[in-house]
C-alpha cells in the first residue's frame, strides 16, 4: 500500500475513470446514500477494491483540506519526464500548446492552473523540480480531476527544457508586468508555450531570458498584479480564442 491520498469527489472520480488500477482503498463519510456514492461503490465492488463508511473525524485525520466526505488511498501516479513530453508531442497531430510555471509554490495555484489547462486543451504543464508545488492531495482536489488528465512534467533544469522546446519550434511567450507588448498583441496560434512566473516574484532571470516574447496583462485599476492562477486563466483563454479562430 502506498502513502498517497486523494480527496474530493472530482479527484476520486477522475482516477476511477482514467487510472482505476491506482485505487487501493476508499473511505466515505457516513450518512451519504446518494447516486454518486452508489455509482462509485458499485464500481469499486466490481474491481474488488475495499471501501468503508467512516465518521467524518477519521477523514479529517487522514487529510488536510475540504475532503467532501471521500478520501482514497492510491498508488503513485506516473511522473512525466521531458522525454515523455517530447515523445507525446511528436505523436500528436496538433501544434504544441504548453504551460510553463516557473516557481509556483502554492498547491492551490498549481491545482487551479491544471484545471484551466485541461479546460483549454493544454497538452502538458511544465514545472521545475525545485521550488515548485507538487501534486499534493490539496493540488489534486483543487484541480477537480485535471491532475489525472493533464501531464505534469517536472524537469531538473527548466532553462535547458525551454531551449529544447525552442529547438523543436515552440514559441515561448512569457508574462512580465514591465513588458511593452500586451497579451492581446501576441500570436498564440502556432506551436506555443505560455510561461508564467512565481507568485509575487515573477519569472526568474534565466527563464525570462529564454522567452521569445514578453507580454503584459492590461491592468486598468489600482492593483498592479493578478493571482498567478487568475493571470494564467486570462492568458490561456486568449490563446484558446485565437487557436479556435
Q: How far apart are CA 69 and CA 51, in angstroms?
A: 13
* 217 annotated as a binding-site residue: yes
* 215 annotated as a binding-site residue: no
* 226 annotated as a binding-site residue: yes
DSSP 75: P
Q: How far apart are CA 230 and CA 199, in angstroms?
A: 11
* 3-class SS of residue 45: helix
Measured from the Cβ of residue 76, the count of other Cβ atoms closer than 10 Å reads 10
Q: Check: CB of residue 188 under 8 Å from CB of residue 238.
A: yes
Q: Which helix (H) or strand (E) holds 70?
A: strand 70-74
Measured from the Cβ of residue 134, the count of other Cβ atoms closer than 10 Å reads 13
Q: Which helix (H) or strand (E) holds 74?
A: strand 70-74
Closest among 76, 99, 243, 120 to 175, alpha carbons compared: 99
Q: Check: CB of residue 92 under 8 Å from CB of residue 128.
A: no
3-state helix, strand, coil in the chain (%, to 5): 40, 20, 35
* 3-class SS of residue 131: coil
Known binding positions for S-adenosyl-L-methionine: 197, 217, 226
Residues in binding site:
197, 217, 226
Amino acid at each position: 500500500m502506498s502513502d498517497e491520498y486523494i480527496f474530493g469527489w472530482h479527484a476520486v472520480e477522475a482516477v476511477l475513470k482514467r487510472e482505476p488500477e491506482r485505487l487501493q482503498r476508499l473511505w466515505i463519510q457516513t450518512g451519504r446514500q446518494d447516486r454518486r456514492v452508489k455509482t462509485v461503490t458499485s464500481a469499486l465492488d466490481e474491481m474488488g477494491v475495499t471501501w468503508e463508511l467512516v465518521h467524518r473525524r477519521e477523514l479529517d485525520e487522514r487529510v488536510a483540506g475540504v475532503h467532501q466526505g471521500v478520501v482514497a488511498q492510491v498508488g503513485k501516479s506516473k511522473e512525466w519526464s521531458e522525454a515523455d513530453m517530447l515523445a507525446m508531442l511528436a505523436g500528436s497531430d496538433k501544434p504544441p500548446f504548453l504551460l510553463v510555471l516557473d516557481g509556483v509554490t502554492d498547491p492551490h495555484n498549481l491545482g487551479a492552473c491544471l484545471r484551466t489547462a485541461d479546460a483549454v486543451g493544454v497538452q502538458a504543464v511544465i514545472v521545475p523540480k525545485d521550488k515548485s508545488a507538487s501534486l499534493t492531495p490539496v493540488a489534486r482536489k483543487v484541480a477537480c480531476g485535471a491532475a489525472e488528465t493533464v501531464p505534469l512534467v517536472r524537469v531538473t533544469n527548466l532553462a535547458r527544457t525551454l531551449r529544447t522546446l525552442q529547438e523543436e519550434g515552440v514559441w515561448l511567450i512569457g508574462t512580465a508586468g514591465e513588458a511593452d507588448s500586451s497579451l492581446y498583441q501576441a500570436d498564440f496560434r502556432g506551436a506555443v508555450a505560455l510561461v508564467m512566473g512565481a507568485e509575487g516574484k515573477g519569472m526568474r532571470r534565466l527563464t525570462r531570458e529564454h522567452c521569445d516574447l514578453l507580454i503584459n496583462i492590461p491592468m486598468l485599476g489600482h492593483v498592479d498584479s493578478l493571482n498567478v492562477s487568475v493571470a494564467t486563466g486570462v492568458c490561456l483563454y486568449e490563446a484558446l480564442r485565437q487557436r479556435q479562430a
